[in-house]
A and B are shown apart, each in its own frame.
Chain A
């Protein structure tokens, strides 16, 4: 028998062709190997492969020392550590990040192939512009000058609000912060990012319930859960590594896993109880479950008495949702919901997970608040194993949200009030009057001039209406005339056909991204489009916030590929062009146009007091990254060593200054620990009383609190009243005095003294109140079921109508006028959408990765055999999916019982086809993704949440026909 040979033998036959010409400036592993004739590529080589097909670079670069670099995966929000092996500046291998307490070495298909993202051949390689329908290469300087001149011209003629700055959840914290600051300096609130169309209804709903709009516990904390309730989420595909933690609880705690979803997902396949319900009926389903909880008196009465406001109004609403009515609306039998209620009641604490299936609805804010109400009724909040574990989507959507790359707030959720601007002007050492002068104004109804500085901008979900709507109907001087897509996939947004029209109407379009994205090909423009190559996060460095609020530090793995530049460098170049770079970067060192990242971290440390992004200095975050192995894998707390007692990544709020050494807050609102050690209570955010009722907590407070009851948020005046102001240092006292004297509160005290003293006495700086299940400032104070705009159940419209039409975020927004039209005869099926594990977001990046593209080569629609057979459609047939606003997409039919009768499902990661037309030829040469397909959102229709303008992309109508 053959045994190991001791000397080399002749190589087998070799041949290879590789697709795409890698650019001159990048050396990837394949280019590294070119000389050997062994390199392999994607599609084009599939037919020409030979036996000798494996070609790691270090074989060729033998002897080159291996350098290990640590970064964080750039796909979902779990925050998996990526360990890269680098040789001679080339990323040659990836090893499991065993030390990371978050992923323990694990990855999903995307994380295991991120190396390809950094050095992929299909990247956008140089600045380019569209001239006469052709992509022409240009220099960075020319690009910045040309674009800048056109923008300044638009600013001159139409005002700063006619340029839209669309940011990204892929930016690092530092880049996101600079981006937000950048469009403030430009003089507009017309900026936003993907959080709007991801979890905006969560952030609004949850923050208005108990204070902060973030995941309360952590992925790891689910090890403590006795039950796991997942609704509108498919983490097995969207957050695969989180399932490691879910399955641990399922095995070791015998925790039942309940999955509520219209679709039998890969997550549902691992559930103990799968609840299939009709898309868009979340509130009805939750109230139907709570009906059994109240009916059997399973609620936690003491918890509600001490820590919840408004529950009796929920009880009244829930009374209407008896098993019969719940089944009529949701389709779920009462017996099953009783079983679910009982499981949740008997297995406490249980955790509650939701994702986009719950948020992307016209009444998404109602859904998220109903979920909170269920957890509050069960007393599952503020405890290990419980919580609202809201899995965020992108790698840094939590961070970008926290820095408020949004149209309605300044960083740290300070809002847009005069006080908020004053606070940030103070942090920036900026002249507030100069800032004011940057903004335009409009005449209000009362005839008085109002600065747009304090008015919400247009959200990303509606930018197309900012272009297409008659300008007299928009609360700003002119339409949008220039769009900047800075790390955004346009196919992640609904109404793509109208977007195409909007793109064609713009004066100027700028795409800044590592990939050309669908923005480059969707419209029929022949001029006035610029593509600027940004680096991936693997070619730069900085901090990133995972879904559990932990900050992690990415190291630069390789130098920027091709002609790409890091986003913060591009921001600086534009700031310089617009003439405010010296003001904007006055506290930040800049070398060769690249701002020094650590200086940016320190600048936001100095201003983000509301949510405690103040204690995470670059040095502390880096120390955590370097010592990942010392953190417990369930509690995330460091055991021993220099970091003893700190929580991994200093999950916010990490109160006070870095010098104060707060360990971070692993679980929000957990009163079993002192605030100084990561404990907390619900935030006093909504005043101290409502309609004569006390809103402060009663008899509940974090361990060690010197105030043994509820209290409002801290101010200097309150410290004086308590006699604690003597604990302030002289420096702190003078800093507080400078802001607003006794009125200075914990959010605007730049010394952190008020926070420090409050915590010293065991108190939470933000007060100690009840959570509220009744949000009196929202359209539906108690969450109500409302039928979707495009509902298939006309019989329910009279009982559960949608809202009246109204004006939101500067724009007219339609509800009733759309719901009034019955489309069910021509479009009888419900259309919903979701994710696939192989791709992410709009998919431009992942579809350009051959390892991933190979696994999903066709855009498809899932339909039930019952519906397919009725239309004579077989598995694999090409079909047209048509929707009521006149769009159609040509996709492959996947006939499966995964979806119920009358429901069709589309994955939303595809792009590059439009209504049957292949747009491949419109990409810059060599930058087209391997896999193209119809975008689900070409088919998706109008519909926006009543608070945040989240788009409705989980519930519409369609019909499916054979091609």
Chain B
């Protein structure tokens, strides 16, 4: 069984925000809630890099560990999902999450935040696959339709990869080899700084 993973290749991400609007468009995520966001470090300086961040669907997910009402569950493919019926909007998962993934529709403390919303890896929620209830609460269930997350599928530079962790690693590994190997003269870029 595949283990679903995201990978954002910082050498390729150009902060075009396609992943953000593709997600919003696919799931009708409202203004103010961002399941996915692009973060830029060293903005405007040499070394500037951007990465697209959403729920990473961790193996040992901290959100699951801290949730007081146990609203999270992990699918057999490793996707971390939650039930908006059980969620009390306490915000613990937000503090536990290393990626800042959980989003709340309202500002405020505890229950006044509303139901937590986050990236579902385009895999819906506890309701029946592709049912209208599932759509209303969690968005489209692309995995059930045999498709992968729309953010990665539409990424402008193929920086954001999503899918079976083994395949994602293989694609990334090929790029690493190409970057290191160059035009056949292994290590020249690294050794002599100027290409060619």
What residues make up the interface of A, taking CB atoms closer than 8 Å to B?
1-12, 29-30, 36, 38, 40-43, 45-47, 49-56, 58-60, 62, 93-96, 104-113, 115-116, 226-227, 236-237, 240-241, 243-244, 247, 251-256, 264, 266-267, 269-270, 272, 274, 339, 342-343, 346-347, 837-838, 850-852, 854-855, 862, 896-898
Contact = CB atoms under 8 A, between A and B. Distances in A.
A105 B30 contact: no
Q: Which of A29, A93, A269, A342 has the most CB of B within 10 A?
A: A269
A2 B71 contact: yes
A5 B127 contact: yes
B39 interface: no
A896 B17 contact: no
Contacts of A62: 132
Contacts of B135: 54-56, 58-59
A851 to B, nearest CB: 4
B157 A106 contact: yes
A256 B192 CA distance: 13
A255 B195 contact: yes
Nearest to A930: B31
Interface in B152-196: 153-158, 175, 178-179, 181-183, 188-189, 194-196
Given A3-B73, A51-B89, A247-B157, A347 B28 contact: no
Nearest to B22: A112
B77 interface: no
A51 B117 contact: yes
- SS class of chain A's interface: helix, strand, loop or mixed? loop
B2 interface: no
15 contacts: A5-B128, A9-B127, A12-B84, A29-B28, A95-B147, A106-B18, A107-B22, A112-B21, A226-B196, A236-B15, A256-B195, A270-B14, A274-B46, A850-B31, A896-B43
Nearest to A78: B156
B60 interface: no
B153 A251 contact: no
A586 B44 CA distance: 57
Which residue among A53, A115, A270 has the maximum number of chain B CB atoms within 10 Å of its CB? A53
Given A1-B70, A53-B30, A94-B25, 6 more contacts: A38-B136, A47-B106, A53-B33, A54-B139, A113-B21, A237-B14
Contacts of B131: 8, 59
Interface in B65-93: 70-73, 75, 83-87, 89
Nearest to B133: A8
A138 B16 CA distance: 41
A852 B21 contact: yes
Given A111-B18, A112-B25, A237-B16, A42 B153 contact: no
Contacts of A837: 15-17
Contacts of B136: 11, 36, 38, 52, 54-55, 59
Interface string B113-152: 0111100000000111001111111111000000100100
Interface string B19-47: 11110111111111100000000011110
B49 interface: yes
B25 A60 contact: no
Given A51-B115, A251-B175, A264 B45 contact: yes
A41 B31 CA distance: 8
A343 B189 CA distance: 13
Q: Could you say which of B24, B27, B116, B158 has the most chain A C-beta atoms within 10 Å of its C-beta?
A: B24
Given A8-B128, A251-B178, A837-B16, A56 B24 contact: no
Contacts of B75: 4
B77 to A, nearest CB: 12
Contacts of A852: 21
A2 B72 contact: yes
B27 A56 contact: yes
A47 B27 CA distance: 19
A378 B33 CA distance: 51
A140 to B, nearest CB: 32
Nearest to B42: A269
A10 B85 contact: yes
A107 B22 CA distance: 9
A226 B19 CA distance: 30
Contacts of B181: 254
Contacts of A251: 11, 175, 178-179
B157 A11 contact: no
Given A51-B114, A52-B115, A106-B156, A897 B45 contact: yes
B196 A256 contact: yes
A96 B105 CA distance: 28
Nearest to A36: B136
Contacts of A11: 133, 136-137
B29 to A, nearest CB: 7
8 nearest CB pairs, A to B: A51-B115, A254-B182, A898-B44, A49-B105, A59-B135, A112-B22, A109-B17, A59-B132
